[in-house]
Structure 1
Amino acid sequence: MELPVNPPVEPMLAKSIPSLPTAPGMSYEPKWDGFRCIVFRDGDEVELASRGGKTLTRYFPEVVEQVRAQLPERCVVDGEIIVIRRDTGEPRLDFEMLGQRIHPAASRVKMLAEHTPASFVAFDLLALGDQALTGEGYAKRRARLVEALAEVRPPMHVTPVTTDVDTARDWFERFEGAGLDGVIAKPAEGLYEPGKRTMYKIKHSRTADTVVAGFRWHKEGPIVGSLLLGLYDDEGRLHHVGVAASFTRERRAELVQELEQYREDVVDHPWNWAGQAPGSAAESIESLPAEGGTRLPGGVSRWTGKKDLSFVPLRPELVVEVGYDAMEGDRFRHTAQFKRWRPDRDPRSCTYEQLDRPIRFDVESVLAGRP
């Protein structure tokens, strides 16, 4: 492969800020919730490179096929690989289904490529033909991208862009219902600087009161690694919804003492992951029983594989307020942030009803430029 910009290339990143920035020529685009991917094409040679520099090529043969069919013969395009779920009402992004695509078995990759095909959303152009564009401002790169990909059709897309801040605010509020992750802002004259945070990202920020039903030890010693968080459903079952894990070493040691009283007299803990005893390793998700084909309350995620999921069970009596950005199904999309203890809250009042659920929105309307 001989291109003006050759792999490996670390993608340009974005710094998180609380609100939309405004400046002359500032562009705004949806923040896609998928796998960041730089596509390198030199004739029939195609490489899909992840944010960490690892290859995604073998996992997405249908994307490789579309790159050969629709992208310019020699180009380097920055974008996002996404999976759209269409069986639950309005089509929306599904990061969990996307995660299933990273599988070692070629037969399973082939099957998933047929049943849950991925799409590619282009949002920057690093090279075209024999010309490198990383030294050009974003506005010029965007114009070249739109021109070069003018004829692409689904499942290949060019992300919508606006320079109107009111439109961007509207996108921020409405597009979350389609599974998008916020808004990205890009200065008009910004160069493409690999690995540098020269763009801006604005994501949703929320809080929830959750039940602490266990913790895991830290890998570096007898200190708390993470708090296991739960919420009750309408039938009174406590579901594992995520973890809070960002603490200083000193704070981790303090938590051991604070949680000690809740370790005593634990009876009929609601999270019996594969019948594990306290301190034992949980089995993989494939071995877990299910109710009606779904995970048991507190059941582990398919992401974990055979990872040791042992935890120290606690009586579900302690309530903590945490910060989170979005939900992925019935769980927090990312690690939650510890805010404060809530001794005034009844654990049974910590239910899913308190969560801010975005209005459902059709992601295909976003991709088609009909927002």
Structure 2
Amino acid sequence: MSKTPTAPADLRTAHQDLHSEQGALRGEHPGRARNPVIKVADIAWVEFEKPDLDRAEVFARDFGFSVAARTPGALWLRGTFAGSPCVVIRRGRTSRFIGQAFRAAERADLDRLARATGTSVRDADVPGGGKRVDLLDPSGLPVRVVHCAEELPELPGQRPLVLNFGTDHRRTNATQRPPREPSRIQRLGHLVLETRVFTRSMNWYLDTLGMIISDFHFLDGQRERGPVMAFFRCDQGSVPVDHHTLAMHLGPGTHYVHSAYQVTDLDAIAAGGEYLAERGYQRSWGIGRHIQGSQIFDYWRDPDRFMVEHFADGDLFSADVEPGWAPLSASGLAQWGPPVTREFLGTNPSPAKLRELLRALRDDSELDPARMLGLLKAMTP
């Protein structure tokens, strides 16, 4: 991998001071691969199966998506920004997460990836056409890398409100009345996953897809054992990108945690949240502001119990910002906002959770009793 420019001292220091008690210690994970196979440009979409596409479409429109295409077997959802669809919902007998797709920077990257992984380049069934390479990460989750032949055109979006700040008066002789309507989704921002093989999966995304780490979390008192959570961003050199496009943490399961969708501003989040609440949907946690990534957030459950997030005002980092290191804790998930809920954390006890935990301790995973107790302690509100 080519050497990236050294970040200005104030940029590196600001990142360390805000995101971690201290930077990396000698010998700790560098947060990037020396020579990745390719460098993906962004996340493209996430895929689900659901038995009721009509119900899924009603929620999608209430949450703020537009429909890019609908067939008897699939629903493609999009945001207002030009680009690819950001969610695919396929008709199936049960509700489940299928996998994720990342966007290749160039068509030739698909050929390079296929050669390196012993796979092949195939047609992608995305609206407008394209090509794809299908992979499995070490957790067994499907990962597609795609190159779309055509971009969806931009749609009209919500305008950010003009705000007055102290003596900086930008709005005079005009009232502020944001309409209570769906938050209009702009784009897919990131995906969060849980895995029982965290280190193997993390290294796979760095080595194969060329992602880099913005922040690591470790367990209090177990830092020498390495991180248990990482926030990945895409490497576009000097071009600033989202603080994280993918986040992943160690846990007893291998599954989807949530996906996050950018909207215009805080008022779009708040008004859209009121709209969702009036229609009987369940808020999982929010409104607040995160620490890692700094996004203003609001989390909801769709009718199939999948968690989805509205967010605005996230951090943007270029490739020269080094990873931050911080202990994992429930209280460290937000700068401000209501207390984090057990429902959001997924720590409500149940027979299914207990069976999952016992399987993870017995099977080929990176969990052992000490790590499990550390995770339970960290995720206790």
- Identify whether the pair has TM-score above 0.5, normalized to the shorter chain: no
Q: Given the two structures, how large is their TM-score scaled by the length of structure 1?
A: 0.24
Between Structure 1 and Structure 2, whose CA radius of gyration is higher? 1
